[in-house]
Structures are given as structure tokens and as C-alpha cells.
Structure 1
Amino acid sequence: MDNEIARLTEVQKKCLRLVAEAKTSKEIAIETDLTPMTVDQYLHRAMAILGTTSRREAARRFVEWEASQQLRRFEFKSTPVAEPQESANPPVTVRGKNWLAALRLPPTGGKPNDLDSVTRLFAIFRIALVSTVVTIAIVIIAKGGFILLS
């Protein structure tokens, strides 16, 4: 069957798919920008290649073969998994100290961590606490600036 399907052209395959959707030659012609007679010629050649006597039988065989190929592709081939990439953000250092390490914040990007759920929750809590403190400091500074300017 694979050899027979390999002999079909892309236009013949498209016509067979549309026949499987119960479309007439006129409807197929509109979708493929062909004439109905040309569609019939493509279907007759496809029927001869597949060894069938009706266009519906040829369409059924082709659609079944196509479905089995999709199942094979999903069943036997796995897609490669991308390797984790290193972080594009270099660590920020001031006077030789790594501030991310000092705050004990988890790195952005890079390889996945091996933290358990409790340690991960504590890391999230530290991030939330630092974010809250920074936000309050910005609000206080902004309010002080507004008071000085008024």
C-alpha cells in the first residue's frame, strides 16, 4: 500500500481527502481551483493506482492509510527534548558579592532545580517578602519626594 500511495500526487491526495468528506467533483473543483473534469481525471488516476473501482473506495483506503501513518508517527517516534540552556542573565556582583546568592533567590532560567516542595515554598516566600519590602521602599521614597516638592 505504501508504494501505491507514494505514486499519488499531492493534488490527487487532496481530491481523495475531499471525496472522503462526501464532496462532489464540483465542490472539489471550487476548493482546488480546478475544473470538475480535471478533478474527475485526478480521481480516476488515483483509483487506477489504488486498484479500486469507485472514488469512495479509493478515498476510504487513502484516508485509512493516512490515519495509520499518523498513528505510527506518534507511536514510534518521540520528539527530541531541548536541552536546558544556561541563564542569559549573568549574576549581578557588587564588590565581588553575588547579590542573588546573598538574597538566596532562585536563579532565573538555567537548569531545573531539584528542590523539594517545602524548600520551593520557602523560596517563593522569600521572593514575595523581598518584593514587598522593595515595593514599600519605593512607595515611601515617592511619597517623600512628593512632600518635598509640594
Structure 2
Amino acid sequence: MTSSENDLSRLPELTEIEKRCLELAANGRTPADIVLETDIAMPRVTEAMRSAIDKLGTRNITAAIIRAARLNLI
């Protein structure tokens, strides 16, 4: 873990779409599934997931889901 992953004093601010995409991905939904369930366009789903990964300081969606859950963001 890096120091940024240990720093709980500055919680990342995720948008509602980022949170929703992470929640659905945490429940096993693929980006295509998320598009069908939410009617959000694929480019927006992809951008929301990439943005969440960046904001959470992780390298992939799995790590982003774990970090968001540990921080009670999802």
C-alpha cells in the first residue's frame, strides 16, 4: 500500500455515476451490463470507471472497488 492508500483524511469525491458504476461492477456487472441496466452510454460508463480508478489512486477496477468499499464510498 502506498501512503495515499493509507491516508483516510482526504476521501476521494466520487460522482453518483462513478459510485453507481463501481457498485454494479462490484456485483459482477460488466461495462456492457451497466449500459443496459442504467441507460448510460458506453463512453460515459468507461469514463466513469477510469475516473473512479484515478480518483481512488488504483491501477484497475478491482482495486478501485476494494478501496471504495473500504472507504465506505460504495
Q: TM-score, normalised by structure 2?
A: 0.76
Distance 1:38 1:49 in 2: 16
Counterpart position of 1:4: 11
Q: 1 or 2 for the larger relative contact order (CA 8 Å, sep ≥6)? A: 2
CA deviations 1:58-77 (Å, max 9, x no partner) are 0111122228xxxxxxxxxx
For 1:27-42, what aligned pairs fall within 5 Å after superposition?
A: 27-42=33-48
Q: Give the CA RMSD over aligned residues.
A: 1.7
Distance 1:27 1:52 in 2: 23
Given candidates 57, 62, 67, the residue that maps to 2:63 is: 57
Give 5+ residue unaligned stretches, structure 2.
1-7
Distance 1:47 1:58 in 2: 5
Distance 1:24 1:54 in 2: 14
Runs of 4+ in 1 over 4 A off after TM superposition: none
Q: Say which one has the larger Rg.
A: 1
**% identical aligned pairs:** 30
Q: In 1, are the aligned partners of 2:17 and 2:48 still within 8 Å (CA)?
A: yes
Q: In 2, are the aligned partners of 1:25 and 1:39 still within 8 Å (CA)?
A: yes
Offset at 1:24?
0.4
For 1:1-150, what aligned pairs fall within 5 Å after superposition?
A: 1=8, 3-5=10-12, 7-66=13-72
Give 5+ residue unaligned stretches, structure 1.
68-150
Q: TM-score, normalised by structure 1?
A: 0.40
